[in-house]
Structure 1
């Protein structure tokens, strides 16, 4: 029983780490993305802020299943999911429209150096969180925590897209690559938004499990 309590406490701490990391990442990425005129980095940072809302729902979920492992998703979690879903869809529209505009006008970022740095750090941090959440989820035999780990993996995919687009532009200055990377981020943001609404309407833990 004591071990189980420690595992749930670890799961809650991991949820908090995810929240605070995304806040920091969001602030830094949006600022540098704006300064360097990199739409991909700015969009990546905005996505991080949306992940904070999702993270609050996850932290609440951990406390709920600790009290009652067989309980279903409650109103707080469903509301957080709906707000997150709306935010993702708004982000998708903004990213797609901005990308098309940048391609149309031939706009290019001043540099994507910070996109390379931030995405590299994000891949490392998020992969550690995925591994740790999976470890805790398996030891607790908790489908919700394992599902959260799989959903965190999406953040790794988005970081990889940012790394590839930022790296290619920084090395070869290929036009439109930053905008194409932004469209890649928009694809995953749309998928996450769709998933949020599906989760809010059911008791299924995660569409990516």
Structure 2
């Protein structure tokens, strides 16, 4: 492995570590705010951040393996596992958001105002574009579909942030009780699309299953 690639791998791994640290904070704050305010959108957003923790952690494991010099087959294996984790994670979040949002629409449940939720959403609007930029940068440098897929996952989180923020403000300013669950449902199609793409990329990666990691 040449020195440039090794340095890029180390920087990408460091990026994933910081990603996990921030997302853990985001998960804790958003879920507390979401359950306190009875907000489907905030809860869904927090769960998506949980998925980001899982995918970022798994991807960091894959990058660490290459840094340690494991062979190409094992790198491919870790890459495939990472993409499958991302795909499954998207599927689970789509199921939960759909169920929770539709239930609240049927019952006409509304969300309460959450200052804590507003703060973490605004912070995310600043942090996530930075993460997206560097994930794409190193994804292209390393020719890593997993890292590029993870960048899309973070983009979904950014998209969610805008949608959830708008829903929160509409409920508070205009009293539109349905804005919160509808905001959550708007996340589903995009998340489903990206999950399907990650699954297809994983399916196209072949490695020798006889080798052990």
**TM > 0.5 fold call:** yes
TM-superposed CA distance for 1:155, in Å, is 2.1
- Give the unaligned 5+ runs of structure 1: 205-209
Does residue 194 (structure 1) correspond to residue 160 (structure 2)? The answer is no
Match of 2:210 in 1: none
What's 2:142 paired with?
142
Counterpart in 1 of 2:57? 56
- Do residues 93 (structure 1) and 122 (structure 2) align? no
Aligned pair in 2 of structure 1 residues 73, 136: CA closer, same or farther (>3 Å)? closer
Structure 1 runs, 4 residues or longer, greater than 6 Å off: 68-72
Following superposition, the deviation at residue 124 of structure 1 comes to: 0.8
Greater CA deviation, 152-161 or 75-84?
A: 75-84
Any idea what the Cα deviations from partners look like across 1:153-203, whole Å, max 9, x if unmatched? 222112121122122222222120000111012233323332332222123
Change (3 A) 1:100 1:114: same
SS at match of 2:186: helix
Shift of 1:136: 4.1
Counterpart mapping for 1:31-70 below 5 A: 31-66=32-67, 67=69
Q: Is the 8 A contact 1:116 1:163 kept in 2?
A: yes
Distance between the aligned counterparts of 2:148 and 2:109, measured in 1? Answer: 41
CA 1:84–1:153 in 2, change beyond 3 Å: closer, same or farther? closer
- Secondary structure of residue in 2 paired with 1:143: coil
TM-superposed CA distance for 1:47, in Å, is 1.0
Gaps of 5+ in 2: 207-213
Q: 1:21 aligned to 2:17?
A: no
Distance 1:83 1:58, change over 3 A: closer
CA-to-aligned-CA distance 1:6-61 (integer Å, 9 cap, x gap)? 33221111011112222221122112101111111011111111112211222133
CA distance in 2, matches of 1:70, 1:156: 33
Aligned twin of 1:132 = 134
TM-score of the pair, normalised by structure 2? 0.80
Q: Which moved more, 1:18-27 or 1:85-94?
A: 85-94
The CA RMSD over aligned residues, in Å, is 2.7
